[in-house]
Amino acid sequence: MTAFNREAALEQVRRIVGYIEKPELTKDEKDTIVKESIANFNENVNPGWLEYRKSVSTDAAFVEWTDSVDHFEDLYGNEFIDCLGGFGIYTCGHRNPEILKTVKAQLDRYALHSQELVDPLRGYLANTLAKITPGDLQYCFFTNGGAEAVEMALKLARLATGGRWYISTVGAFHGKSLGAISMGGKGAYREDYLPMIQQVQHVEYGNAEAMEVAIKNLQTVGEKVAGVIIEPIQGEAGVIIPPDGYLTKVREICDKYGVAMILDEIQTGMGRCGTMWRCEHEGVTPDIMTYGKAFGGGIMPITGIIARPNMWGQKLIDNPWILGSPTFGGNPLACSAALATIKFMLENDVPKMAKEKGDYFMVKLNALKEKYPTVLKAIRGAGLLICMEFPEAEVGYEITKGLFSRKIMTAGTLVNAKTVRIEPPAVLSYEKIDHVMAMLEESIIDAKKEFNL
């Protein structure tokens, strides 16, 4: 086979574009897509992918094709209730009709920006964000992915303080670009890429004293710390909630030593934990805050940072490109999605929805924990960022598989495989929550038998 096969590529893209544009596929077409998707993943994505995802792809026949409100559908119309929420992106639901309407209207006008003229939606979004974030957070910089936002936060901390060092936490997850993974708190994701940013110290999460000691020691030996970076709740580590007062203490420490406080609200923000931002729980304003995931309404990828004026120095004002200049960052289509998302969240009080439904889940989950203490070891959560902890990773995996066979999608967390998350859209109905809980109990009973617990 020649590497460059124009005829085959053209025939293929014509056929696939046809599938995308066709309202209804035939049975043969669906079968073809399933067969070809498996082959494509094995040959051109990663031969390990389907195996790695085996709890949800053993038969490999579940090819997602559409979604709506609280579920995904495969090609054959099998519906899967979404209790994973795309790792937190679907807080407003799947293809929320109101957000979609705005994005389609923007798409019909213009999608991407000239890079030179003033693109109004970027300005409106930045201005709106300043109105819905704590304290004097003011200046925004928009990016495309979470890790990219973290990169900007790290760079801004150095630019603003002149410091070079960062303090991060064990178990942290901030993304997988080289800077972000330098802050990461799990060895397996870091080892192959060492050395990365060298000026990082990891301290125990939830321990403000350890953070202060690290900063103090560095400063004593003549080093200067640029920033501390923390998640207000460690999501990927298995929903680790720090002791009350932790963020307040970290704020005080940062003020004392002239260090930028970076709060990574990529997963915890935008209503997920029952308030618009998790830092509201302690009334703390960070110097730099990152956001992403649910920010684009589950329709467009858009992430970014917002910073206080003390972080936005003259050097950056004189040369706005010095921080970054991502071609697609803050593009009109993505901004239209974020603006419509904020509108939907404020009009419908999505944070309150997440809080009430999260509390409802917690009551039921705690009842299950009482009933099956050898299987369900712990429940942690705030709003709809919830996780269940099992005795071993294999048990968690079996539960995930059991739920999937009952048409409910969940997954483990990236840093801690013993924990399985419940992170559904806030628009999931109480009726569906009851159904999820019934299916969870069935899966727990199966696992209890299988593992002799």
- 242-260 burial: b if 16+ Cβ within 10 Å, else e: beeebbebbbebbeebebb
Question: CB under 6 A: which stretch of 14-22, 261-269, 304-312, 325-333 binds ligand PLP?
Answer: 261-269
423 binds ligand PLP (CB under 6 A): no
* Size of site (CB under 6 A) for ligand PLP: 15
Ramachandran assignment for 282, one of left (phi > 0), alpha (psi -120 to 50 degrees), beta (any other): alpha
What is the widest separation between alpha-carbon atoms in the chain?
70
Sheet holding 64-68, edge to edge: 64-68, 71-74, 79-82, 408-409
Residue 297's region, left for phi above 0, alpha for psi from -120 to 50, else beta, is: left
Closest approach, Cβ 172 to ligand PLP, in A, equals 8
CB of 193 to ligand PLP, least distance (A): 15
Q: Which stretch binds ligand PLP (CB under 6 A): 25-33, 264-272, 313-321, 429-437?
A: 264-272
Instruction: Please state the closest distance from residue 174 (CB atom) to ligand PLP, in A.
Output: 5
Among 85, 171, 292, 304, binds ligand PLP (CB under 6 A): 292
Measured in Å, how far apart are the chain's first and last C-alpha atoms?
A: 54
Distance of closest approach, residue 39 Cβ to ligand PLP, in angstroms: 27
Binding of ligand PLP by 87 (CB under 6 A): yes
- The bridge status of strand 139-143 relative to strand 79-82 is unpaired
Establish if 173 lies at the interface with ligand PLP (CB under 6 A).
Answer: yes
264 binds ligand PLP (CB under 6 A): yes
Applying CB under 6 A, which part among 93-101, 133-141, 167-175, 326-334 lies near ligand PLP?
Answer: 167-175
Residue nearest to ligand PLP (CB): 146
Q: Does 147 bind ligand PLP (CB under 6 A)?
A: yes
Distances (CA, A) of 32 to 6, 36, 37, 63: 21, 6, 8, 11
Report the nearest approach of ligand PLP to the CB of residue 265 (Å): 8
- To the nearest whole angstrom, how small is the minimum distance from the Cβ of residue 144 to ligand PLP? 8
- Stretch of residues binding ligand PLP (CB under 6 A), selected from 141-149, 242-250, 320-328, 393-401: 141-149
Q: Which of 93, 146, 227, 402 binds ligand PLP (CB under 6 A)?
A: 146
Q: Which stretch binds ligand PLP (CB under 6 A): 76-84, 171-179, 187-195, 334-342?
A: 171-179
Q: At what angle do helices 332-348 and 97-107 cross, to 10 degrees?
A: 150
Q: How far is the CB of 376 from ligand PLP (least distance, A)?
A: 24
| Nearest-approach distance from CB 115 to ligand PLP, in angstroms | 23
174 binds ligand PLP (CB under 6 A): yes
Q: Is 328 in the site for ligand PLP (CB under 6 A)?
A: no
Burial class of residue 88 (count of CB atoms within 10 Å of its CB; 0-12, 13-18, 19+): buried
Strands 200-203 and 165-169, bridge-based pairing? parallel
Nearer to ligand PLP, 257 or 295 (CB): 295
* Residue 319 Cβ vs ligand PLP, minimum distance, rounded to whole Å: 26
Token pair recorded at residue 89: 């992106």
Taking the complex as a whole, the smallest distance from the CB of residue 382 to ligand PLP amounts, in Å, to 14
Alpha-carbon torsion, ordered 136, 141, 144, 149, to 10 deg: -60
Which residues within the stretch 203-242 sit at the binding site for ligand PLP (CB under 6 A)? 231, 235-236
Q: Which of 102, 267, 341, 416 forms a contact with ligand PLP (CB under 6 A)?
A: 267
Minimum separation from the CB atom of position 7 to ligand PLP (A) = 37
Instruction: Please say whether the beta carbons of 354 and 383 come within 8 A.
Output: yes
Is 266 a binder of ligand PLP (CB under 6 A)?
yes
The mark string for 427-446 relative to ligand PLP (x by CB under 6 A, - otherwise) is --------------------
Asked whether 102 and 449 are in contact (CB, 8 A), the reply is: no
Identity of the residue, 155 or 407, whose beta carbon is nearer to ligand PLP in the bound complex: 155
Question: Is 150 among the residues that bind ligand PLP (CB under 6 A)?
Answer: yes
Question: Which pairing describes strands 79-82 and 408-409: parallel, antiparallel, or unpaired?
Answer: parallel
Please report how close the Cβ of residue 240 comes to ligand PLP at its closest, in angstroms: 12
Binding site for ligand PLP (CB under 6 A): 87, 145-147, 150, 173-175, 231, 235-236, 264, 266-267, 292
